[in-house]
Amino acid sequence: MSTTKPVWVGILEQQLKENPKALAYAFSTLSQDGSPKVRHVIHRGITPSSILLTTTDTRMSKPAQLHHSPKFEIAWWLPETNVQFRITGQAYTIPSSFAQDDNAGHILRELGLEGKEEAAAEWWQGKREELWENVSGHLRAGFGRPAPGTELKDAEDSSKWPETIPAQSDDEKEKELVKTALDHFALIALRPTGVEFLELKPIPNRRTQWKSQDGKAWTELKVVP
């Protein structure tokens, strides 16, 4: 099914071509007590319906925070072209159990995917496995280690952790480690409803905003930088 691409998506894709190393952005969520929490994450792609993708360990704080409140904001600086994107919207965690999750239908509706190719939970399971194949073995190994943020009582214990693991394995012992790590590997699907694009190279600088109430129809506004 063809999907009309929002103007800002085309601009973002072009900027990423010109800034191929600028894949990290600041991703802010709300904690259960309402305080902001921010960290840098890696951009993992854009779906045909303009959903941004990143990944997380299900044992980290992001999934619990997004379950409490799906609201997010991104600040993304691309240095080669001196531009910044600020993106707001709602984000949802897509875990290994998503296809069997009773809440999957609700999340897919909240992402605005009715009638689109990403409307099936199986599509997301396939995308999760695809990204698992694409990340480095070092990153995959992190999902098979003790839960991030838990107390490390003996630093020497970390020397026993796997440094890298394959995406798949035929070795029985390694296969169990891969399964455990993959179970902890989740996608975060970000549905933008507001985008701001700041250009600092032109003189005078330029600032453009796009807003959407439903994630489908976008309005554009030029504002003073």
Classify residue 69: in a domain, yes or no.
yes
Residue 55 lies in a domain: yes
* Residues near 55 by beta carbon (within 8 Å), at least 6 away in sequence: 41, 42, 44, 131, 135, 185, 186, 187, 188
- Region 180-197: mean pLDDT is 98
pLDDT for position 3: 63
More reliable by pLDDT, 96 or 1: 96
* Residue 98 belongs to a domain: yes
At 1, the pLDDT band (50, 70, 90 cuts) reads very low
Domain span at 11: 7-118+187-223
Residue 172 lies in a domain: no
pLDDT digits (tens, 9 = 90+) for 191-205: 999 999 999 999 999
Q: How far apart are CA 133 and CA 74, in angstroms?
A: 26
127 domain residue, yes or no? no
- The pTM of the full predicted model, rounded to 2 decimals, is 0.94
In the chain, how many domains are there?
1
3-state secondary structure of 156: helix
The CATH number assigned to the domain holding 74 equals: 2.30.110.10
In a domain, 1, yes or no: no
CA distances 206 to 7, 67, 99, 198, Å, are 16, 36, 43, 6
Is 90 exceeded by the pLDDT of residue 4?
no
* Residue 42 forms part of a structural domain: yes
Q: For the residues 84-106, what does the mean pLDDT come to?
A: 96
User: Does a structural domain hold residue 196?
Assistant: yes
pLDDT of residue 214: 73
Calpha distance 185→161 (Å, rounded) = 17
pLDDT tens for residues 39-58? 999 999 999 999 999 999 99
